[in-house]
Amino acid sequence: MASKVGEDQLTQIRRRKPWYTQLWLHVFVGTIAGICLGLWDPALGMRVGPLGDAFIKAIRMLIAPIIFCTVVHGIARMVDLARVGRVALKAILYFEALTTIALLVALGAVNLWKPGRGMNVNPAQLDTSAVQTYIAHPPKATVTEFLMNIIPTTLVGAFTEGNVLAVLLVSLLCAFALAQIGAGGKPVIDFIEALSKMLFQVVGIVMWAAPIGAFGAIASTVGKFGAGSLVSLGKLLGGFYVLCLVFLVGVLWPVARACGFSLFKLVGFLREELLVALATTSSETVLPQLMRKLEVLGCEETIVGLVIPTGYSFNLDGTCLYLATATVFLAQATNTHLGLWQQLGLLAVLLLSSKGAAGVAGAAFVVLAATIASTGTIPVASVALLLGIHRLMSEGLTPTNVVGNAVATLVVAKWEKALDPERLRLVLNRKWEAAS
């Protein structure tokens, strides 16, 4: 059964608004205005950057409590708690399969189009001052450290440390505890349900600032890096955007079709979230709205609450495309030979390191430095080559991450028989009146 949150939003969707009042259009206009400002007056464009940062912070402060409320409310009402483990296992299997495919697709593509060939870059001659932090102290990506970071220092610390998986762990523990309490825990569950409704209303209020946030974020990006970066590394940037489209059409489209829904209609349904993610280059900015819209599509609250937070760490398809492409590009640009077995070894490292890039703007660049440092083959200083266009590449990888996690949730929900296919069809086909 669909959640009340989904029903409330479906009611709002049925009330068709004039096209000029819709949020996606305002975000689009804000994005275009930001690009124009960044090109016309780069200095002013950089100064309005805090508008984007403020919007990202406003959304980020809501993520932890929303995940907590969604997971606890969904699981605490379940009769079969063993189902939680089954859902998690199915989700992890799907995540690992799709991210592996993403890495293989990217490795194959970058070896075919060879964007770095002929650049003949000498890493010793690069200006590495701006990336010295990553080069001198690259973050480590070990299995032990990754797992230990999931456990928060304190129970409350899970909500302040910014680690989505830590919040999910605390949420699961609380949900299981409430489920075992039984009828005695009903007042707490009712309170969490009311709190969840309030938080989603807050998200709705904050999202109306999305056009201003998109304007500031994109103006700052264009103002800082300008058109020069597009020209100097245009082959890599353009090829990467094409690669993201190839992955969407060649991999996610068949998956969606096999599950009985249209990927393109899903993209249209998520247009507001994708525009915001593109402008802010952070998938975290749309996490609450993405969870809410997936419930509207007919996914059970429990599935959404488990799959989306986990997917934000384990199912970053766009980030995998970026890491594989950027790593091999840097090898080509610095004339570093990578044989077949070396690239397969690189793929294994990327499968682990990509799990550390959880939705935060710029995190993929940090993980890239860690990956290159761990391989010991490609000069770490070469990451300076990508500093000028990393954020522009993020405008391709971030929406890909969002679509990938939306598809993953629908797939797992159908796999678990927790998806209302008729409601999904009606909502995606915009037949709101019949979807009651």
State the DSSP string of 77-145: T-S-THHHHHHHHHHHHHHHHHHHHHHHHHHHHHHHH-TTTT----GGGS--GGGHHHHHSPPP--HHH
Q: What is the pLDDT of residue 204?
A: 83
pTM to 2 decimal places: 0.80
Residues in the chain with pLDDT values less than 50? 1-6, 359-361, 432-436
Residue 299 forms beta bridges with which residues? 419
Burial 213-229 (b: 16+ CB within 10 A, else e): bbbbbbbbbbbbbeeeb
Chain-centroid distance of CA 91 in Å reads 16
Instruction: Assign 201 to helix, strand or coil.
Output: helix
Distance CA 294, CA 269 (A): 10
* Structural contact between residues 273 and 293, judged by C-beta atoms closer than 8 angstroms: yes
What is the reported pLDDT for 395?
A: 83
Per-residue pLDDT tens over the stretch 150-166:
888 888 888 887 777 88
296 vs 283: CA distance, rounded Å: 19
Q: 4-434 in CATH: which number? A: 1.10.3860.10
Q: Does residue 264 sit in helix, strand or coil? A: helix
Residue 302's contacts (CB-CB under 8 Å, 6 or more residues apart) are 71, 74, 75, 78, 83, 84, 87, 418
| Contact indicator for 74, 305 with CB cutoff of 8 Å | yes
Angle value at C-alpha 19, between 15 and 25, nearest 5 degrees: 115
> How far apart are alpha carbons 58 and 14 in whole angstroms?
28
The domain segmentation of the chain, as residue ranges, is 4-434
Q: Which residues of 6-20 are buried (b: 16+ CB within 10 A; e: fewer)?
A: bebbbeebeeeeeee
